[in-house]
Structure 1
């Protein structure tokens, strides 16, 4: 198991390096996030001890369940799934960033809790660039108004945009949903919104890593290519939260 995970990590890093080379980009501009939903803590530990330090979970319960086995490790944790407002207080115990901010009610609840804790939080805004009804995220046309609206929540520090591209299709059909996020980022920058300078792009998973980097991704969320198929138990996971 350990050898497989370490080998897979090397393969993924090689894919990132090759994609950056083809796009004439510096490899240091692309960060690897380990998408660890349903992955047992002992497998995550192997990857962290091999040099990784960033993980993303889709459910608060997974942070809680794995915390006791991983708390001795230095890990940065992001929340990358759909977040219910009644889970905000619990999630904030574990994360330094929420990548799935997609509605005002969530922004308001986050701000309220962060004020109580006297701290700020990095956030990415989730955008539905594939226009699939099964996926969460803002419509592209709503992104700039949303950013302007949540500017009043000073505890939320907007660091980037996140999307789940169109999956399970021919590779070139995946590209438009990834390119669109970059175009939205350019539009946000050109709108010269106060407090917004550079936005990172979180996009790209096991299927579309190379395309995402070619289209400007700064963070790829990889699970299956590192840990293998999901460790499903009682629950069937929605593709909307697949990495």
Structure 2
């Protein structure tokens, strides 16, 4: 198990580095966030001890269940799932430093109330539904700037950027327009110069499309299956250039 996780971390880091080089970007600009839904604390620990410190859960229940086991291992918690307002208390209890899925004003209001009562602040990303799929959460792109403006008025919420999930497709080129929408929104919000808003982070891209996301400006890629699943490439991947063209056929999303 450990060997496979270390192997996969090496592959993903190499993919990030190659994608950055191709896009003329510094690999230090892109953070690898470990998407840990359904992954045991034992496997998460292996990745944390040998890779990036950033992990993210989709469900508050999993955050709660793994908290004690992971407490002694240095890490930084993000939350990337749909957050119900009745779970806010738990999110704050389990040391989440960034909620990447702030998608509605009601959630911002309830977060602010709770944070004010506890004299805390939290980082947030505004989640945008760039694929226009009804199954996806996120603000409509046409409403994202106004939502950002309203969220900026809550002093407890530190807006750091935007997040999107993008179209579920094995073809990276079909997902590219989603990433472009997010990048364009980022640039529009920067031009608006809204007080208390930073637009440094674009969280987009998963296992199957991280290269495309990096080309379009991602600063955070969320990778789960490709690290915690079985080995995704043989060792020959490291020196066989031909394999890199086939990469998207071998990966699961997230």
TM-score of the superposed pair, with normalisation by structure 1: 0.93
Would you say 1:75 and 2:75 are equivalent positions?
yes
- Cα deviation, 1:174-201, whole Å, max 9, x if unaligned, reads 1101111000100111112122243310
State the distance in 2 between where 1:169 and 1:77 align: 28
Q: Which residue of 2 aligns with 1:236?
A: none
How far apart are 1:169 and its partner, in Å? 4.1
Q: Which residue of 2 aligns with 1:143?
A: 144
Secondary structure at the aligned position of 1:131 is classed as coil
Q: Which residue of 1 aligns with 2:225?
A: 224
Poorly superposed stretches of 4+, deviation over 4 Å: none
CA contact (8 A) 2:203 2:218 kept: yes
State the distance in 2 between where 1:152 and 1:197 align: 13
Would you say 1:24 and 2:24 are equivalent positions?
yes
Q: Which residue of 1 aligns with 2:89?
A: 89
Q: Which residue of 1 aligns with 2:199?
A: 198
Secondary structure at the aligned position of 1:8 is classed as helix
State the distance in 1 between where 2:48 and 2:158 align: 27
State the distance in 2 between where 1:23 and 1:82 align: 31
Q: Which residue of 1 aligns with 2:237?
A: none
Q: Which residue of 2 aligns with 1:133?
A: 134
Secondary structure at the aligned position of 2:132 is classed as coil
Q: Which residue of 1 aligns with 2:122?
A: 121
Q: Which residue of 2 aligns with 1:62?
A: 62
State the distance in 2 between where 1:166 and 1:148 align: 26
Consecutive unaligned residues of structure 2, counting only runs of 5 or more, are 231-252
Would you say 1:42 and 2:42 are equivalent positions?
yes
How far apart are 1:69 and its partner, in Å? 1.1
CA contact (8 A) 2:160 2:198 kept: no
Secondary structure at the aligned position of 1:220 is classed as strand
Consecutive unaligned residues of structure 1, counting only runs of 5 or more, are 230-241
CA contact (8 A) 2:58 2:80 kept: yes
CA contact (8 A) 2:162 2:199 kept: no
How far apart are 1:56 and its partner, in Å? 0.3
* Corresponding residue pairs, total: 231
Q: Which residue of 1 aligns with 2:244?
A: none
CA contact (8 A) 1:16 1:27 kept: yes
Which residues in structure 2 correspond to 1:152-163 (within 5 Å)? 152-163=153-164
CA RMSD in angstroms, aligned pairs only: 1.1
State the distance in 1 between where 2:47 and 2:172 align: 28
Would you say 1:172 and 2:173 are equivalent positions?
yes
- Cα deviation, 1:48-102, whole Å, max 9, x if unaligned, reads 1113211000011111111121111111000100000000001111200100000
State the distance in 2 between where 1:51 and 1:176 align: 30
State the distance in 2 between where 1:57 and 1:198 align: 23
Bigger mean CA deviation after superposition, 42-51 or 81-90 = 42-51
